[in-house]
Structure 1
Amino acid sequence: MNLQVLRALAAFSVVIAHALHETEILAAATGRAAVDGSAWNLGFGVDIFFVLSGFIMMHTAAAEFGKSGASLRFFLRRCARVVPLYWLLTSSLLLGALVAPSLLAVPIGSLPHILASYFFIPSGRGVDEIRPVLALGWTLNYEMLFYVFFAAALLLPIRSGVVWLSVLMVGMALVGKLIHPHHVQIAFWTSPIILEFLFGVYAALIFRSGARIGAGPALGLAAIGLLGFVHVSAPWNDAVLPQFLRSGLPAALLVLAAAIGPVPPQRRPVFWGVALGDASYSLYLVHPFILRPLRAIWMKVIGGTLPLGLFIVFATLVAAAFAQALFRYVERPFTRRVQGLVFRVARRKQAATGTLSTADTESA
C-alpha cells in the first residue's frame, strides 16, 4: 500500500514539473507572472520510479532465481506490462503529429529513430537530446535495460545473481563516468543513473530479511528522503553529487521507509493514493497529451485573467482523472489480455516439465 502511494507521488511530481513548463509558455503569451518552481526538484519522481522498479522486481521475483525458464518468463511478463500502453501512445503521438502538428509540436525524427523508439533503443532526435518519439519513454529505455540484466541474473542462484547484477551495473556506471563514451547507446546505457535500480534491489533485500521499523523512524527516513524534492543550487552540486547520489539515495530512503515502515490506516486519502498509484503508469505516459491541449484551451478561454498557479492545479486534476479512465478502460484490460496470452504460451512450453507458479501471472 505504501509503495502505491509513493508511485502516485512520483507520477504527480513529474506531471507538476511539466505543468510548470506549460505556465512558462502561458506567461510569455499572456503577460501573467510565471510560476517559479526553481526551488523544487520535481524530476525527483523519476528517481523514485527507478528505485521502486528495482525494489518490485527483486521482491516479486526473488523466489524465481535459479529456476528453469525463469528468465524468459520474467522478461515476457515485464514486456506484457510495459509495452502495450507505450506502443499505443507512441502510435497515437505519431498519428497526432500528422493530424495536428502545431498542437503537439513533437519532433518525430527519421524512420530509424521511430523504430528505435518502439524497441527501447536510445536514439538522438536532436543535438544532445536522446529521446524517443514519446519523450518520456527515455525512462523506459533504462527500465528495459534493467529488465534484460535482471532476467540474466535470474539464471543464477539468488546470492550469485545479485552479486553478478551489482558488479555488472556498477562496472557499466564506472565505464560511463571514467571513459565518457561518445557512442549514443553506450553513453546512455552507462549513465550512473542505472545504479538507482540497484538501490531498489537492496532495499527489497532489506525488506525480505524481515527488518521493520516503527512510525517514528519511518517518518524520519521519509523526511530525509523528501529532501530529494528540494533543489540544491551549489557549485559542487553536479561535480561532487551526481544524480544517482543527489536524488537516488533520497529516493531509496523514501522507498525503504515505505517498505519497512508500518502500514497506514485504511482512510480515504490513503485509498485515493493507492488508486492513483495503480494508474501511475497511465498518468506518467499520457499527461503530455493532456497538458498541451489544456494550455491551448486556457489561452483561449481564460487568457491572463487568472493566476497561472491555478492552471497547474486544474491541469494536474484533469490529467489524473483522464489517467484513471485510461487505466480502467484501456491499460488494465489490455495488459491483462496480453499477459494472459504470454501466460498461455509459457504454460505450453512448461507443460513437459511442470506447472507455472502464481508469480508467472503477477504484474508489478
Structure 2
Amino acid sequence: MNKWQSLQALRGFAALAVVAFHALAVERKYSGGDLLLPDFFILGQSGVDLFFVISGFVMVSVSTGRFGRSGETARFLWGRLSRIYPTYWFYFFLTLAVLLIKPAWVNSSQGAPVGLLSSFLLLPGDSPLVAVAWSLTHELWFYVVFALLLNFAEKWLLPSLLLWGAVVATANLLLATADLPAGLLIALHPFTLEFIAGALVAVFVTGEYAARFSPAMSIGALVLVAVAGFPLLHRFDLLDGFGLIRAGAVGILYGVLVLSLATLERAGRLVIPRFPSFLGDVSYTIYLSHVLVLSAIGRLWAMTDPAPASLLDNLLVCLLMLAAVVVYGWAGYRFVEAPVLRVAHQLRSRWFDRSR
C-alpha cells in the first residue's frame, strides 16, 4: 500500500495537536489572566514528533520495490523537495512581508537572530523566519539520508536503519551534541530516532511477519497508548527538552500508534471518515500557517480588552482560532498547495516516470 488513509488522518491529528499547543500560548498571552484551555494541551507539541514518525513510515512504504533502481534517488528527491519548498516559500515571503511592516509581530518570543538565507533554504543555523520551519530542516536531513539508502538493495534497508539509529544514539550518549556545529547538530539530533522508528514500523508492516500482529493486538495497543501513554508523557514531563529521553519515549509511543493503525487498515478493519482525511490533506498548510493565524486572532483579542472575570471570551476566541485555522487550511491548500503539487506531479511524470 502506498496510500495509507489512517496515517493521512493521523497527520491531521498531529497538525491540530500543534495548533492546540500554540493556542495555549496565545490564551496565556492575550486572555487577561483567566485560562480555559487545560495544561494537558502542552502535549500538542509532540505533534511534531508524530510528523517525524509518520514521515519515516511513509518514506519506506512508498519506496518498497524501488531500491537499487536507476534514477530512483533523483525521482525521490524531486518528490520530497517539491513537496516541501514551494508551499513553504509562500509562507516564508508572507512572513517576511509581516516582518518588514511590523517587526515585533514575527518571532518576538524567540529572542534569537533570524537568518533569512538559512530560513529560505531551510538550512541549519539561526532561528527560522517561519517559526515552525525548524522541523522542516530535520525532515530534509531525513530525506537526504534516505535518498542515499535508495541506491542499495532493499535487503540492506533494515541493517542500515539500525546502524543509523545506533550511531545517533551513541553520539548523544557520549558527546555534548549541543556544542556541535549546526549541521552536525541536525545530523545527530535525537529527532532522527523518531524518523527511524517510523521507518522500522514500515519495514515490519510491509514484511512477512506483519500478520502476527493481529487486529485484536492493534486495538489493545491503541487503548494502551490512550489510557497510559499520553498520561505518562504528561505526568513525567517527558516532552521537556529535545534529548534522547523525549525521542525514545515519544518515538516508541507514536511508533506503536502508527503500527496499530496501519495494521488495522491493512486488515480492512479501519474506515476513515472524510473529515479526518480532509484534515490530513490540509495538514501541511495548517502547520505552516497556523502561527500567523493564531497570532492575528490573539492581537485582535487583546484589542477588545479581555474580561479576566469571565471565560466566555476565552471560549469564543478558542472556537474562533480553531475555525480560522481549519478554514484557512482549506483555502491555502486549495489555492496554493494543491496547484503546486499538481505541477510538481506533472513534472515528475514527465522527467522521471516516462524516461524510465
> Aligned residue for 1:219?
219
Once structures 1 and 2 are overlaid, which stretch shifts more, 166-175 or 272-281? 166-175
2:323 is the alignment partner of 1:317: yes
Does residue 272 of structure 1 match 2:298?
A: no
Between the aligned partners of 2:105 and 2:246, the Cα distance in structure 1 is 33
Deviates most, 90-99 or 182-191: 182-191
Mapping 1:131-210, distance limit 5 Å: 131-181=127-177, 182=179, 183-209=181-207
> C-alpha deviations, 1:126-162, integer Å up to 9, x for none?
xxxxx31112111111111010000000000012133
CA distance in 2, matches of 1:225, 1:62: 28
How far has the Cα of 1:40 moved from its partner? 4.6
- 2:341 is the counterpart of 1:339: no
SS at match of 2:65: helix
SS at match of 1:91: helix
| C-alpha contact 1:2 1:264 (8 A) present in aligned 2 | no
Are 2:31 and 1:17 equivalent residues in the alignment? no
The CA deviation at 1:284 is 0.9
* Separation in 2, partners of 1:225, 1:143: 25
Seen in structure 2, the aligned counterparts of structure 1 residues 265 and 89 have a Cα distance that, compared at 3 Å, is same
Structure-1 separation of matches of 2:145 and 2:33: 50
AA matched with 1:167: L
Identify the match of residue 72 of structure 2 among 60, 70, 73.
70
Kindly indicate whether the alpha-carbon contact (under 8 Å) linking 1:14 and 1:45 is maintained by their aligned counterparts in 2: yes
- Between the aligned partners of 1:93 and 1:168, the Cα distance in structure 2 is 36
Distance 1:108 1:116, change over 3 A: farther
Shift of 1:32: 2.4
Q: 1:225, CA displacement in angstroms?
A: 2.9
Distance 1:286-1:228 versus aligned 2 partners, 3 A rule: farther
Query: CA 1:236–1:2 in structure 2 vs 1: closer, same or farther (change >3 Å)?
Result: closer
Distance in 2, matches of 1:100 and 1:247, equals: 37
Cα distance per residue 1:32-68 (max 9 Å; x no partner): 2363415752212111111100110100011110111
- The amino acid that maps onto 1:168 is W
**Paired AA for residue 44 in structure 1:** S
TM-score w.r.t. length of structure 1:
0.84
Q: 1:232 to 1:347 in 2, by over 3 A?
A: closer
Match of 1:308 in 2: 314
Q: CA deviation at 1:114?
A: 1.4
Match of 1:358 in 2: none
State the alpha-carbon separation in 2 of the partners of residues 335 and 343 from structure 1: 12
Q: Is the 8 A contact 1:173 1:194 kept in 2?
A: no
Moved over 6 A (4+): 107-111, 235-241
Deviations 1:325-359 (A, max 9, x none): 111221011122133234433357x3xxxx2xxxx
Aligned length: 339
1:3 aligns with 2:11: no
Tell me, what secondary structure is at the counterpart of 2:44? coil
Query: CA-to-partner distance for each residue in 1:277-306, whole Å, 9 max, x for gaps?
Result: 111111111101100111122233472252
- Alpha-carbon shift at residue 92 of structure 1 (Å): 1.1
8 Å contact 1:228–1:251 — kept in the other structure?
Answer: no
| Aligned Cα root-mean-square deviation (Å) | 2.7
How far did residue 26 of structure 1 move? 1.5
Quick one: distance in 1 between partners of 2:247 and 2:324? 32
Whole-angstrom distance in 1 between the partners of 2:279 and 2:24: 21
Query: What is the Cα deviation at residue 186 of structure 1?
Result: 1.4
SS at match of 2:64: helix
Cα distance change of structure 1 residues 33 and 77 upon mapping to structure 2, 3 Å threshold: closer
**In the alignment, which residue of structure 2 is the partner of 1:361?**
none
The alignment partner of 1:63 has SS state of coil
Task: Answer whether contact 1:55 1:200 (CA < 8 A) is retained.
Answer: yes
Q: Normalising to structure 2: TM-score of the pair?
A: 0.86
Q: Distance in 2 between matches of 1:221 and 1:116?
A: 41
- Residue 307 of structure 1: CA displacement? 4.8
Provide closer, same or farther for how the CA distance between residues 235 and 85 of structure 1 changes in structure 2, counting only shifts above 3 A.
closer
Structure 1 gaps of 5+ residues are: 125-130, 356-364
Contact 1:11 1:280 in 2 (8 A): yes
Q: Tell me, yes or no, if the aligned pair for 2:238 and 2:245 is still in contact at 8 Å.
A: no
Specify the alignment match of 2:86 in structure 1. Answer: 84
The 2-side partners of 1:264 and 1:327 are apart by 30
CA distance 1:261–1:177, change in 2 (3 Å): same
